[in-house]
Each structure stands twice: as C-alpha cells, then as structure tokens.
Amino acid sequence: MRVDIAPQESYATMPYHLLPVLTPLLGEQSGQHPLWVLVSFLPFGVLVLLIVLAVYGAKRSARRRTAGFQQVAGTLGLRYVESSAGHLMDQLAEFQLFAQGKSGRISNVIQGKIQDTEVSVFDYAYTTGAGKRAQTHRQTVICCQGGTASWPNFELRPAGPFYRFVEGPGDRPIEGVVPARLSETLVLRGTDEVAVRDLFGEDQWRVIETLSPISWECRGDRFLFYRQRQRVRPDRLEQFLVETSGLCKLCSRPGG
C-alpha cells in the first residue's frame, strides 16, 4: 500500500509543482539554500521589474511625444515654450475645461501665429476621483486668440454622459441653434442666447461637423478647441491646427 508523506515544514512555502524538482537539489535545509532564497523572492522581483519597465516606458513615450511637438513647431515656424505653462494656466482658468477635476497640468506648449491667428497648442491633464478611483484625463488643446473682438461666452461639446462637465455659473442650454442633423450629438450652452445665435452660421456648422467630436469653448477673445480625453498625435497636429484656426477665422464673420 502506498503512503503519501507530506512535505517537511521547511518546504511549506515552496510552490507545490516545484517540489519534485527542487527537493533533490536543495536537501533538508532548502530554506537556507541560495537557490531557495532566489525562488522565494522571484514574485517580488518580477513585480519590481514590471514597475521599472512601466515607468521607463512612460518616460520614453513622454520624451518621444515632446520631440514630436518640437518637430511640429519647427516645421510650422512656431515656438516650443514649455516654460509658459504656468502663465497659460492663469490665462485660461475661466474656461470650463480648467474647472474640471484637480491637479491640472499643462505640458508640450507650442505658440505662434498661423493664418494671422495667434495660437497655443498644448497637452492638458487633470485628475478626478481619489485613491483607487482616481482617473487622469488627458487631451490636446488648441487655443486661438481672435484679436480685439470679444465674443459671447459659450461651450459646444458632444452630447452624452461621457462628455458631461460641471457647468459654469450662468450657463444654460441654447435651443434651436444646432442644426437638426447635429442636434442629437452636440450640446450648446452659453450666457447670452441672442449673441450666441448670431455667432453661428452654416459655414461654421459644416466645419464643426468635419471635426466631430469636437469641444469648443469661447471666453472673450479666446477660443478653445479639444477632443475630451483624446490626445492628438504629433504627426496629426498640423492638420488639427489648420482646421481649428480656420474655424476661428470664420467667427470674424458672425452668422457665416
């Protein structure tokens, strides 16, 4: 009759499937053998390695993205000015995007003039929630400055809970401005309904339709364009810049 003998206590923490292989090698005092120490720390070592690789990968990706922005800046005759991030945060604080979440931070800033329009391009990230529920939301933002003209405050963004924001004081839905073909996918809010109605015309809506899902905010003489929780690849920045700066110029002719 076969009698199974339980492993000795010194093997209690050894993975069961390794017992037949390691027992002849390690002997009775396996817990003190260098190979046994290595096996014991293997899961911890793998975890540390994965963390190191993740950090390295994130830093490498960030460096490549920065290099891509710098290349775009050189191609378009713009300036890469990382040091202006704090100044931009102060200038744009009244926009709804910058009122969301906490720990907002700007990076990869490009500034200059395109088609006679002053533009700033940058990555913006903010955090919502806390602890295990914390989430970081990243998007590429284009800010166009419309000269001396002052436009009515408004926000145009995709409909649906995924795009919902904390609303600003005085903002209210503006009905009947968004064309019927876009009314199910876009939400328009503002503080001056009459002025906002005069701003939009068919020319603007045609461009907006091609840029969907675009979010568009206006405060004074500045327009903000972005796709919520989406970063634009550096090799597509130029196209996005041309499209949004063109839309900004259209607004110099309210009512399209």
Domains in the chain: boundaries: 11-58, 78-250
8 Å CB contact between 43 and 13: no
For residue range 41-58, what is the model confidence (pLDDT) as tens digits? 677 677 776 777 666 666
For CA atoms 37, 43, 44, 49, the dihedral sign is positive
8 Å CB contact between 147 and 221: yes
What pTM does this model have?
A: 0.76
Q: What averages of pLDDT result for each successive group of 10 residues across the chain (256 residues)?
A: 51 52 52 61 70 69 90 93 81 91 92 86 93 92 78 88 64 87 90 86 87 89 91 93 79 52
For CA atoms 87, 93, 98, 101, the dihedral sign is positive
For residue range 225-252, what is the model confidence (pLDDT) as tens digits? 999 999 999 999 998 988 887 787 776 5
Residue 114: predicted pLDDT = 81
